[in-house]
Amino acid sequence: MILDIDMGNTRGKWRLRTAGVIHQRGVLDIKVGVAAGLQDFYFKANLAEYKIEKILISSVLDAERNAQLSLFFKEKMAIVVCFAKSTASWNHLKNGYDHPEKLGVDRWLAMIAAVHENHGACIVVDCGTAITVDAIDAEGNHCGGYIAPGFGALHQALFNTTLIPPVQTAYSHSSAPGLNTSAAIGNARLAMLSGLIVEAERALLAKSNGSQLLLMATGGDAIQVQRIRPDALLKPELVLDGLALFFETSDQVEDCKER
């Protein structure tokens, strides 16, 4: 039994699996703090009822909170957790960063899962607290990406000033210019997302000799991608899938160290 965790800054996704079977999945909330969030997760998921042998983690948390993660599972379950890390390459996928280890591990794992499923050129979009867009060519070269504020952060930034009164906005289904203030704000979010994807595609097409591009979307707001691009393939567990693939490589397991 393996516990996979994709940990963001305030919440994470998790799943319990054996070979080819997902037994449980859910959300782990740490807005109340890492220790309290993990304790709540431990009891609600009934982890004590399972014979868990490995805990694999993708985490964007800082070193202090990662240490709290490690300590919790060591004390509660006597398991040393394994943290994934960004590497220079994985199979035929090549990290495009000047310093590969500085690429966000969640982005790296999402790309691993994407190239495992699709052997051609692709764009990977992760819509969460931040929006990330990464381009991978048909040869498995990571051609770079974009990082932008997520929809929630964009909304907060716009109204975090006394100069603009708060306006109630719903999620939009259009990127066209809005004909009222609410639509103008809501549609702008999709227009910005569309622009990021278009620019990534333009850069990738120049390197892909006209090969077809696949668009994959993950994250809490992934459905927004499909609203502007119906051809987008939604993959809610793309990072978790990449996490599992990353640790299937024996040397990564051997390099796994407690934080």
Q: What is the mean pLDDT of residues 220-243?
A: 95
Is 9 annotated as a binding-site member? yes
3-state DSSP helix/strand/coil % of the chain, to nearest 5: 40, 25, 35
Q: How confident is the model at residue 258 (pLDDT cuts 50, 70, 90)?
A: very low
Give the chain's length.
259
The amino acid occupying position 141 is N
Q: Out of 3.40.50.720, 3.30.420.40, 3.30.70.270, 3.40.630.40, which CATH number does the structure's domain 89-237 have?
A: 3.30.420.40
Is 105 annotated as a binding-site member? yes
Q: How confident is the model at residue 178 (pLDDT cuts 50, 70, 90)?
A: confident
pLDDT at 250 over 80: no
Do the domains at 2-83 and 89-237 have one common CATH topology?
A: yes
pLDDT value of position 259:
43
Give the Cα separation of 22 and 171 in Å (integer).
31
More confident of the two residues 186 and 69: 69
Burial 46-74 (b: 16+ CB within 10 A, else e): ebeeeeeeebbbbbbbeeebbebbbbbbe
Is 12 annotated as a binding-site member? yes
The pair phi, psi for residue 79, each rounded to 5°, is: -120, 130
- Greatest mean pLDDT among 36-50, 156-170, 243-257: 36-50
More confident of the two residues 8 and 96: 96
Positions annotated as catalytic residues are: 106
More confident of the two residues 250 and 158: 158
Q: What is the mean pLDDT of residues 5-28?
A: 91
The amino acid occupying position 61 is L
Q: Where along the chain do its domains lie? A: 2-83, 89-237
CATH, domain range 2-83: 3.30.420.40
Is 77 annotated as a binding-site member? no
Give the Cα separation of 85 and 105 in Å (integer).
6
